[in-house]
Amino acid sequence: MTATVTAPADQHWPWWPLLPLYPYGRRPTLVRELVPGRIWSFEQLHGVWYVAVPIRMTVVQVEEGLMLYSPIPPTGEVLQALHQLERQHGPVRSIVLATSSGLEHKLPVPAMARAFPSATVWVSDCQWSFPLRLPGAWLGFPAERTRVLGRDGYPGGDQLRWFPLGPLDLGLGTFLELACLDLATGCLLVIDALVSIPAVPPAVFDLDPTPLLFHARERGSELLIDTSANRLRGWKRIVLFANFFRPASVSIPALPEIFSEAMAARHRSNRNHFGFYPFRWSADWEQQAGELLAAGNGMNGIGIAPVLERLVFPRSKRAYLEWLRHLGSQDGLSKLISAHYAAPVEVCALTFKQLIAGIEHRCWALSEGSWQVLASIDNSLIRLGIVPHPSSEDHPPSS
């Protein structure tokens, strides 16, 4: 089942160039059946300044009804597809927020809960907000039907098995994520802690390739031209941005130069940000993208995203490896379905063994090259006393 309906034009935010949060109110959704009659993927794109990556909700049919793992914004299109599944497979019984820290996964929960008023809302323990610590009801979780994963049980009964990673003290808050194994299919659902970054643009970009084409250019004055080469080029650059914030191969030109190029653009519109493209790529950018896509990952490109490794787990490599060992020891593993990037991805015990071995033998949480910005953020947080000081108990970041 594939749905490609775009939200009505009146839902677009007319002032988006002032705050370029892609997709500017439009959220076309790609719906795919991953395991016939059992598991479905609902994918959208989200990001800033066209640095758009896929975000995914996974729907699992368990005996009690449908479980929504990691909800996405419930657009009309999403609700239409969910109601269609309900007619075939039973009602939505549970909405699961299996992370304490992923804001992009928390924000859709209240709206999804309102859309399914009889569903139980399950959230991970240690939910937090910044700068104010707000109670769950203030975050939009309906108090009368919200349960805490683990403390109050789990949805899905004996059909699902849950694997917490954390809690880890981040200073600002706590990291806690729960992977979920569907025992009948061997599908392993995760949120952020394990991903497979594909070498080619995910299919959800077929609904709107603009982010790829935007970043495929060298100058803001260039047109957005839709070719497969440009899509691939744009994807590799987006991957670098999404994982390193400011890759080593990018520099920012002077403002007069940026404006001059924008003025030289033959076509200026919302779509090309009126000709503004404030980035310069050095000659080795593609090599750096290739290194990122191959670095430290196991089979099928599965691994930890650099941004998570450097900002969440720089001093928690041991806890991360223990979680991987626990996951890898489960019988019948077949597919990984994470909340970002590619899914489903084939996995087995060997996948985890190779991934663990790779992490054990490589440097962890680097500070050089493209990792510099991430490292400087982490170091600043340490200096300000916001995150715990590095412990000699675990692997310290290399310097």
Asked if 123 and 185 count as a contact pair (C-beta separation under 8 A), the reply is: no
Nearer CB in complex with Fe ion: 160/339: 339
Distances (CA, A) of 31 to 78, 129, 180, 214, 332: 8, 31, 20, 25, 26
Q: Rounded to the nearest whole angstrom, what is the least distance from the CB of residue 274 to Fe ion in the complex?
A: 30
Q: Which of these ranges, 39-47, 99-107, 163-171, 310-318, lies near Fe ion under the rule CB under 5 A?
A: 99-107
Min CB(65)–Fe ion separation in Å:
25
Stretch that binds Fe ion, among 89-97, 123-131, 184-192, 276-284 (CB under 5 A): 184-192
Supply the minimum distance, in Å, between the C-beta of residue 195 and Fe ion. Answer: 9
Tokens of 253: 């030109």
CB-based burial, 319-345: b 16+ in 10 Å, e otherwise: bbbebbeebbebeebebbbbbbbbbbb
CB-nearer residue toward Fe ion: 102 or 397: 102
Query: For Fe ion, which is the closer residue by CB, 192 or 222?
Result: 192
SS3 at position 10: helix
Do the beta carbons of residue 155 and residue 120 sit within 8 Å? Answer: yes
Identity of the residue, 102 or 303, whose beta carbon is nearer to Fe ion in the bound complex: 102
Cβ atoms of 61 and 39 within 8 Å: the answer is: yes
x/- mask, Fe ion, residues 54-93, rule CB under 5 A, reads ----------------------------------------
For Fe ion, the closer of residues 78 and 216 by Cβ is: 78
What percent of the chain is helix, strand and coil (3-state, nearest 5)? 35, 20, 45
Nearest to Fe ion of 182, 192 (CB atom):
192
Contact with Fe ion (CB under 5 A) among 192, 222, 309, 378: 192
Nearest distance from residue 101's CB to Fe ion, in Å?
9
Distance CA 237, CA 215 (A): 7
382 contact partners, CB below 8 Å, separation of at least 6:
389, 390
- The answer for 206, left when phi > 0, alpha when psi is -120 to 50, beta otherwise, is alpha
Q: Smallest gap, in angstroms, from Cβ of residue 302 to Fe ion?
A: 16
* Smallest separation (angstroms) from Fe ion to the CB of 104: 5
CB of 115 to Fe ion, least distance (A): 21
The span from the CA of 330 to the CA of 83, in Å, is 33
Q: Is 108 in the site for Fe ion (CB under 5 A)?
A: no
Pairing between strand 187-189 and 335-337? parallel
Q: Which part of the chain contacts Fe ion (CB under 5 A), choosing from 97-105, 130-138, 149-157, 292-300?
A: 97-105
**Least CB distance from residue 100 to Fe ion, whole Å?**
12
The phi and psi torsions of 351 (rounded to 5 degrees) equal -55, -45
Binder of Fe ion out of 102, 108, 155, 275 (CB under 5 A):
102
Q: Which one of the spans 102-110, 162-170, 329-337, 365-373 is the region binding Fe ion (CB under 5 A)?
A: 102-110
Which lies closer to Fe ion via its Cβ, residue 192 or residue 261?
192
Q: Which is nearer to Fe ion, 66 or 72 (CB)?
A: 72
The region of 96-104, 206-214, 304-312, 359-367 touching Fe ion under the rule CB under 5 A is 96-104
SS3 (DSSP) at 112: helix
DSSP string for residues in 194-225: SEE--SS--GGGGS--HHHHHHT-SSTTS---
For Fe ion, give the closer residue by CB, 107 or 203.
Answer: 107
**CA–CA dist 99, 165 (Å, integer):** 9
CA distance 9 to 26: 8
Q: Shortest distance, CB of residue 191 to Fe ion, whole angstroms?
A: 6
CA distances in angstroms from 314 to 48, 71, 255, 333, 391, listed in the order given = 25, 28, 35, 28, 10
Count the residues of the shown chain that bind Fe ion, applying the rule CB under 5 A: 2
Q: Contact region for Fe ion (CB under 5 A) — 185-193, 222-230, 258-266, 308-316?
A: 185-193
Q: How far is the CB of 257 from Fe ion (least distance, A)?
A: 34
Chain residues binding Fe ion by CB under 5 A are: 102, 192
